[in-house]
Every structure is written in C-alpha cells, then in structure tokens.
Structure 1
Amino acid sequence: MDDDEAIARSLEGDLAAYEVLVARYSALAHRTAYLLGAGDEAEDVVQEAFVKAYRHLPGFRRQAPFRPWLLRIVANETHNLTRSRGRRSDLVLRLGTTADARVPDDPSDVAVAGDRRTRLLAAVRALPERERQAVVCRYFLQLTEAETAQVLDWPVGTVKSSTHRGLARLREEVGGELA
C-alpha cells in the first residue's frame, strides 16, 4: 500500500492503514527528533507527532508528499520540547541506517573510524542551531533542499545559506582531520 492509499483509507477510518504509515515512518521520525535535539525524549515527541498528524490528516494536501509533512510536525514538536525545557539538550545521533555497512578488519581502523565520527558529531553539535538543523536535515536525514525547507518551515534560500555556513564551519573545524 503506498502513502496515498494509506492516507485515503485512514481518512475513511481505517486505523490499520494509518498503522502502515506509522510503521513506514517511525524510524525516520525518531531519528529526526533525536537529530533535531529531542535527545532521550524523542520517543515522546514522535508519539505526539503521529497523534497530531492523524488528527490533522483531513487538512493534508493529497498531492503533496507525506514524509516532509510528517517530519515538519516532528520538527515542530521537537522545537516545542526544547523551548519548553528552556535549554538545549545534547544531540544524540542514531546513524544505524546511514552508517557505512563495511566493517573494518583491523581493530585500529575501527578505533580511528570511531574517533573520527566522535569528532565530527561533536563539531555538528557545536554548530549554531539553525546551521545544525540544516546540516542534519540535508546530510544525516538525506532530505532535499525543498524537503528541508518544508520540514524546518524556512524559505529554500535560508536552507541553502544555513547549510553552506554550517558546512564551512565543519570544514574549518574538522576538514583536514576527516578528509
């Protein structure tokens, strides 16, 4: 069942069809919440986002893709969480689906790769919030510029400039070490 069919059936009251959407997008929604700063509370954010998405499904534009619409709700819920707790939580990255599937044979390669990843993630965490959000959406979640703009509710030009500045800072911070 594709997204359009699942949405149509969900609007008719078929909860099993909505469960298909939840199953399809749960991991991505969870990763998005973590990457945007929800930390240990990502599960709560995702649950609330799916409830809100279901409640607002009648307002969903049928011709639009579901994924960026859902991720926008996740981003809003994450923003609400971080704003309400009054501090920026640590960024916890789940790279399971984007990590290189190749397993190095040499234990020293494993250690070096882990150290590089730790330095890169620390540099991403240190970016200003807008740049971090843009870089996370574009490169960790692999969203297009248009999808990132929709998820973050920014103009495409802001996505481009924030991504550019974020990547420039990352290159300055860790570029030579990770080349």
Structure 2
Amino acid sequence: MVSPAVEGVRSGVLATSSEARGGEQLSLRADALLARRSALGDRQAFAELVQRHGAALYRYSVRMLGGAHHAAEDALQEALTKAWLHLPSFRGEASVKTWLFRLVANECLTMRRRRGPTAVDDKVLVSIPADARSEPDTMSLATDLRDALDVALGELPWRQRASWMLREVEGLSYEEIAEILGTSVAVVRGQLHRARANLAFRMEDWR
C-alpha cells in the first residue's frame, strides 16, 4: 500500500498546512532547519522536506528500477520511512538532499537485487527511418526517443546508470554523487565517462 506521502509525490501534489510559525512560512525554511524540526517529531516539517525533494527522488527511483513504478514507489516509501526514523541521529555531515538520495539509492539497489535484471528489447533502440515517418508519426517521435533512452539506460551497469542519472538529470556535483554512492570522486568521473560512451553507442541510430 502506498503511503500518503509517496502518493503526493507521484501526483505532484502534497498537502501541507499554510499556517505561519514565528512569522515565516514553513515552505521557506532551509533543509537543515526542516530536518531538525522533523527530528523533534514535526510531521509538517517532514512533509515539506518530501515536497522539496520527493519528485527528484521518485524520478531517480523509477529510472533506476527500469520504469517499474510500483517498485519505485515501494523503494521511495521505505527510504522515507527510514529517513523519518533516523532523522534524530542525522548529524548533518552531508546535505539533507544528499542524505535522502543515498537512502533511496540503497533501497533501489536492494530491490533490484531481489528482482534481478530486467529484460531489454533491443528493437526499441532502433530508430524509425526518416522516409517511413508520416506527419502524425513525428508527433510521437519524442516519446519514442525517451523510451529508447530508458532502454539504453537500463542496459548500463548499475553505477554507471546511477552516476549518469544523478549528474545529467538531477544536476548533482561529483562530490555529492560520490557521497550518495559511497565511492570517490575519481570513480564517479570514470563511471560517467563510460556511461556517456555506452549511451552514445547504444543511441547511435537516433543521431
């Protein structure tokens, strides 16, 4: 069963109270303050953290689990539950955002190990010949390209895919990615280089 918080992330709407505290809107508070208030049991503060970062966390989960939305929801729900339980011991050595991403990344990896690899249909990677496209067909070309990219991403080794997603989609720094994946900046750079090369090869027909 999907929790209300995860359901809010999926729909893009998360209900939060508009009541001001101390003359400030809760939605404008910094992550660090929200984390401290959450650690004290403030559910509204935690809801604001989810609202700030939930969409990115869910997007990452979906891509890392091969587009399996239910599995991504389960992974995100488990990660958010752990975040709520462990916030009192969060020491702030990394940013709250990085910490949340690491929890989600770990849950996705655990779930992927349970499920095993996802079969990939190579036919999706083959582009439609230009002379075979009618005008209505071109309207769905962007969707086809996105689907092909998703398949190509699914072919990448786990760390390459994670590094590419966190850098190219979420725009995180090399240092943040290294923290999330529990590795070094040098390893992240190497994984990204290989991921970009592999994707360029896999997407050759779409150039």
RMSD between superposed Cα atoms in Å: 2.2
Paired position in structure 2 for 1:113: 142
1:171 pairs with 2:207? no
Alignment equivalent of 1:43, drawn from 69, 73, 77 = 73
Q: 1:14-29, aligned counterparts within 5 Å?
A: 14-29=42-57
Q: 1:120-159, aligned counterparts within 5 Å?
A: 120-159=149-188
Paired position in structure 2 for 1:9: 37
The Cα of 1:108 is off from its aligned counterpart by 4.5
Q: What amino acid maps onto 2:195 in structure 1? A: G
Q: What amino acid maps onto 1:5 in structure 2? A: L
TM-score by length of 2: 0.70
TM-score by length of 1: 0.80
In structure 2, relative to structure 1, the CA distance for the partners of 1:60 and 1:90 (3 Å cut) is farther
- The answer to whether the Cα contact below 8 Å between 1:37 and 1:88 also exists between their aligned partners in 2 is no
Q: Percent identity?
A: 34
Residues in 1 aligned to 2:192 and 2:89: alpha-carbon distance in whole angstroms: 30
| Number of residues of Structure 1 aligned to a counterpart in Structure 2 | 163
- The answer to whether the Cα contact below 8 Å between 1:149 and 1:155 also exists between their aligned partners in 2 is yes
Residues in 2 aligned to 1:78 and 1:164: alpha-carbon distance in whole angstroms: 23
The Cα of 1:90 is off from its aligned counterpart by 6.6
Residues in 1 aligned to 2:174 and 2:181: alpha-carbon distance in whole angstroms: 10
State the secondary structure of the residue aligned to 2:91.
coil
Q: What amino acid maps onto 1:140 in structure 2? A: V
The Cα of 1:120 is off from its aligned counterpart by 2.3
State the secondary structure of the residue aligned to 1:56.
helix
Off by >4 Å, runs of 4+ in structure 1: none
Paired position in structure 2 for 1:67: 97
In the alignment, structure 1 segments of 5+ residues that lack a partner are: 92-105
Question: Which structure: larger Rg?
Answer: 2
Q: Deviation per CA, 1:39-87, whole angstroms, max 9, x where unpaired?
A: 22111111111111121112223363111110100011111111123x1
Q: 1:76-91, aligned counterparts within 5 Å?
A: 76-85=106-115, 87-89=116-118
Residues in 1 aligned to 2:88 and 2:136: alpha-carbon distance in whole angstroms: 53
